[in-house]
Structure 1
Amino acid sequence: MAGKKFNTTSDIEIKEVYTEPSGMNELPGEFPFTRGIQKDMYRGRPWTMRQYAGFSTAEESNKRYHYLLSQGTMGLSVAFDLPTQIGYDSDHELADGEVGKVGVAIDSLQDVEILFNGIELKNITTSMTINATAPILLAMYIALAKKQGADLKQISGTIQNDILKEYAARGTYIYPPQASMRLITDVFEYCSKEVPKWNTISISGYHIREAGSTAVQELAFTLANGKTYLKAALQKGLDINVFAKRLSFFFNCHNNFFEEIAKFRAARRIWANITKELGATDAGAQKLRFHTQTGGSTLTAQQPMNNIVRVSNQALAAVLGGTQSLHTNGYDEAISLPTEAAAKIALRTQQIIAFESGVTDTVDPLAGSYFIEALTDELEKAAYIYIDKIDAMGGSVKAIEQDYIQQEIARSAYIYQNEIESGEKVLVGVNKFTEPEPAAINVFRVDDTIRIKQTEKINILKSTRDNLAVSTCLQKLSTAAMGEENLMPYILNAVEQYATLGEISDTLRHIFGEY
């Protein structure tokens, strides 16, 4: 093997042996939080075990939520279908073929009432993976909490609300960047007063990684986006020591075990320094809190049971990296939405790590590893090269408008694909240790008739609600959007009158335009 180079996925060279301590003598729970944000980490309480679910209609998703809660899930994580993500009702012509496919279809408050039927919002935390229409879905959730009589000061959860990574990597945006930034900071401001325990943004590296970035790019672009949100909120006059406590992050966990652990450690350290530079003095505002999901793009349709091992490896890395919350993917996700059996194995994977492996007994068990410490330093250094470059361009919005971030991700994705095709990188069951595959059995499919059911629901709703009240609310929202006011109260009023998601989105499209 003479002359062979060993590198991480981000092209950081790995030495044969590490003999130097890094000289780091930090403690967990202390600035810059490299070793974890809590002094006792999982000895105090385990991470939140979430399972991301949502498909078909609100009725069907509600059944899956009750099933997951009965199996020991501690928090729900809602997936929305594509029309909901980009502000179209299920009866819109552009929604054809997509209703209920990659998540649940939500057209109005009525659907959210069905989605959480029999579930007290005050007793759970809910994470919603929604961006362009985040203010509308959050308003629906708040409206339901009010109807249930919950104390809004106590309800907690997270809304993704991260539009910058949509422009960079994922594509479910509606409005131009400046209008989108206004909606996001409106949510920050509104929640800081009305729903103080709600995490108002989950700054997401997950989709940046799924689009093909390296670990370093995921780290750098996510934190650069975070910095842009901090600056936007400061410009609006918000107090960093208040609003920064409600920012959370969402990272991917890939196959390169040690690189991923080092990435999470480096992320905490970089973020602590970024917030401090921008004026945060409260430790809570300097801590990077994050949810992790195992890497969807690492899963293979070939030999799908191998994915159980991949997911276990990734979940363990996330825990050793100090995550606050974790979703483990179903082994069949390269083929279809997860079956109930796959969802259960995914959840059991987390429970086995938590209760059988012993890794939760001490805080940051890999601290002091020469390799981990050196790799953390290397990842931090490589990420700062990108962050400084984006700062020099004027921040993430400018870097996205100039196509810089998109091009960097595309280049990395291309290199990776070439390495798989040439066999330089081994993907078990795909380019090595392959075997003839039987056709996939037990595939989960969503029926196309859902669009008809949802359309019927919308038609009945529109014939029974107070349409004059709806048009008055939408008119007031339109007027407010032309000015400077916070739009959340107007969106909430419209939602409570059963205005549909599409009607509210169209009202804003009319004022802001589309990107």
Structure 2
Amino acid sequence: MEVDRLYTPADVADTDYNEDLGFPGEFPYTRGVYPTGYRGRTWTMRQFAGFGTAEETNERFHYLIDNGQTGLSTAFDMPSLMGLDSDHRMSLGEVGKEGVAVDTLRDMEILFDGIDLAAVSTSFTINPSAPVIYAMYLALADQQGVPREDIRGTLQNDMLKEFIAQKEWVVPPTPSLDLVTDVVEYCVAETPNFHPISVSGYHIREAGSTAVQELAFTLADGFAYVEDAIDRGLDVDAFAPQLSFFFNSHNAIFEEVAKFRAARRIYATLMDDWYGAEADAATQLKFHTQTAGQSLTAQQPKNNIARVTLQALAAVLGGSQSIHTNSFDEALALPSEEAVRVALRTQQIIAEESGAADIVDPLGGSFAVESLTNEIEAEAMAYLTEIKELGDGSVRDGVLAGIADGYFHREIQESAYEYQSRVDDGEETVVGVNEHEMDADTSPDTLHVDAEATRDRQLGRLSDVKAERDDDAVEATLAELRAGIRADENTIPYIVAAVKAYATMGEIMAVFKDEFGGYQETAAAA
């Protein structure tokens, strides 16, 4: 954003403290959703982890817990993300490469070996096949004897942003949205402490959007899910408290802080005005923040430690409930143990040494930050109004229409192009890339995953599971899932039964593709 050289009381003359800001823990939550901020509880520290087989990722989980991490965050490989088994022809070369491979409940059992699901909060970054991973986690909790109401965590499960930005899907947008709402409906009844969606602006920003677009499009997706759940007959005050959000944190500290503060205010106001939410928890926007992967450079990678520190500080100053800090080597490879430890220590130093956690909303009242918060709110509201008009009064229909006609893609593409042009022209400085370059090789030692050994081990386990399971039971559960889809019933109970029978990820997702068909994105004119 363009910022002024100096801000004065004149820039915030129209701001009413009680109406626009209020105290922390009070509507519209501009200053935070908790009255005591981090003095009551420090944010959850998560480090995204997943590579190779379930055994390797389980080892990394234990390493992070031993080093003080307070929540697990699971990365899956591309076949798992796309609902394919490791032995599928399209999985060749991708098994365990960018996350952990999970084909059946057996993999999930190994992944969480020695980890008490009642004692840890687990985040799953997965979308098209999110209902299957959720079902596996429920089945694992049942195995451990953990009451379902006691399991805690978050399922990303944000399909609308997939069609907008990340581009991973199995079935078309409308049935994808139905599946998301199935999880929401089931979560409300069975796992009240588990978040069924993490509405994700992170990937929208990584695709090249501005901070304002990230905020507006994320909230639009969130409101689309709210509308779909209401249409399903769910009470907004019952399900909305379980919704969570996921934002990016970039280098411009004051812009990012203002974005987080504007997000809370817009969400609270519109959940009240548009959807009639009455419970405080239904109007409180709670979110996870990840530092900006797009900002990381392969050149002079240890510079990324400074970038991540600033971005994490912005997330703290903006009141995030959960934070992931990227590792300095992620522009080169999956994080090494050293790099992930430095990333975790970065959060711990901010929490325990900087004093940033001691004051609630410490930048509140700043002429600059309040002015930027107002500006971001106004620009994001303009986008939300436009999206609602695309849907003739429905945000959900506006988002679906925007996906169909390329609206979101055009907006993001233009912003990405403008940013890259500024970098190429030297108007935007990226230290080590277009300024302060070095000829010397600055590459650190990186993590190496043995692709062939990983694939062989994974295919061996998958083959063993198929040989040991009851094939008749698998076929029966898949047939029941198909019948449930055709009867327009909630699919989650059927998926849970299938994973308990050790049906594979690919077998379950194939049923949905057979019933709903695939999806091919069409190019939209600029």
TM-score bin, normalised by smaller chain: over 0.9
Q: Deviations over 1:380-406 (max 9, x none)?
A: 001111111111111211111111001
Deviations along 1:288-341, whole A, 9 cap, x unmatched? 000000000001111111100000000000000000000000001111111000
Aligned partner of 2:394 in structure 1 is none
Q: How large is the Cα RMSD of the aligned pairs?
A: 0.9
Equivalences for residues 28-67 of structure 1 within 5 A:
28-67=24-63
Q: Which runs of 5+ in 1 are unaligned?
A: 1-7
Structure 2 residue aligned with 1:400, among 394, 400, 403? 403
Amino acid at match of 1:366: L
Any conservation in 2 of the 1:81–1:100 contact (CA below 8 Å)?
yes
Shift of 1:445: 2.2
Between the aligned partners of 2:247 and 2:302, the Cα distance in structure 1 is: 24
Q: Distance in 2 between matches of 1:24 and 1:339?
A: 46
> Does 2:412 correspond to 1:409?
yes
Alignment check: 8 A CA contact 1:303 1:437 kept:
no
Give the secondary-structure state (helix, strand or coil) at the position aligned to 1:249.
strand
Match of 1:347, SS state, is helix
Partner of 1:235: 231
Match of 1:138 in 2: 134
CA distance in 1, matches of 2:344, 2:3: 35
The match for 2:502 is 498
SS in 2 for 1:122: coil
Cα distance in 1 between the residues matched to 2:32 and 2:317: 10
Say if 2:445 is the partner of 1:455.
no
More displaced 10-residue stretch of structure 1: 402-411 or 13-22: 13-22
- Structure 2 equivalent of residue 368 of structure 1: 365
Is 1:420 aligned to residue 423 of structure 2? yes
The residue that corresponds to 2:447 in the other structure is 444
Shift of 1:480: 1.0
CA distance in 1, matches of 2:51, 2:269: 40
User: Is the counterpart of residue 507 in structure 1 residue 494 in structure 2?
Assistant: no
Q: Does 1:333 align with 2:323?
A: no
1:359-387: CA deviation from partner (whole Å, max 9, x where unpaired): 11121111110100000000000111111
Structure 1: distance between partners of 2:449 and 2:96: 7
Which is further off, 489-498 or 383-392?
383-392
Aligned length: 505
Asked if 1:252 corresponds to 2:248, the answer is yes
TM-score by length of 2: 0.95
2:478 is matched with 474
What is the CA–CA distance in structure 1 between the aligned matches of 2:440 and 2:318, rounded to whole Å? Answer: 35
Aligned counterparts of 2:359 and 2:142: Cα–Cα separation in 1: 41
Equivalent of 2:145 in 124, 149, 153: 149
Which residue matches 1:24?
17
Aligned-residue identity in percent: 52
Distance 2:92 2:440 in 1: 33
2:321 to 324, 344, 347: 324
State the AA in 2 paired with 1:474. Answer: L
Task: Return the match for 1:381 from 374, 378, 381.
Answer: 378
Distance in structure 2 (CA, Å) of the matches to 1:86 and 1:499: 16
CA distance in 1, matches of 2:56, 2:367: 50
Write the deviation string for residues 218-238 of structure 1: whole angstroms up to 9, x where unpaired.
000000111110000000000
What is the CA–CA distance in structure 2 between the aligned matches of 1:118 and 1:156, rounded to whole Å?
A: 17
- What SS is found at the alignment partner of 2:456? helix
Which residue of the partner structure matches residue 110 of structure 1? 106
Residues 302 and 437 in structure 1, CA contact (< 8 A), matched pair in contact too: no
- Per-residue deviation, 1:451: 1.7
Q: What CA deviation, in whole Å up to 9, does each residue of 1:125-155 have, x standing for no partner?
A: 0000011000000000000011000011111
- Give the whole-Å Cα distance in 2 for the aligned partners of 1:222 and 1:28: 23
Which residue number in structure 2 is paired with residue 78 of structure 1?
74
Distance 1:16 1:96 in 2: 56
More moved, 15-24 vs 290-299: 15-24
Answer whether contact 2:123 2:155 (CA < 8 A) is retained: yes
Instruction: Give SS of 1:153's match.
Output: helix
Asked if the contact 1:330–1:343 (Cα under 8 Å) also holds between the matched residues in 2, the reply is yes
The one-letter code of the counterpart of 2:331 is A
Q: Which runs of 5+ in 2 are unaligned?
A: 392-397, 520-526
The equivalent position to 2:310 in structure 1, one of 309, 313, 328, is: 313
CA drift of 1:353 comes to: 0.5
Distance 1:245 1:300 in 2: 37
Taking structure 1 as the reference length, the TM-score comes to 0.97
* Contact 2:121/2:152 (<8 A) preserved: yes
Secondary structure of 2:415 counterpart: helix
Matched ranges for 1:216-227 at <5 A: 216-227=212-223
Q: What pairs up with 1:91-106 in 2 under 5 angstroms?
A: 91-106=87-102
Matching of residues 263-282 of structure 1 within 5 Å: 263-277=259-273, 278-282=275-279
What residue in structure 2 maps to residue 5 of structure 1? none
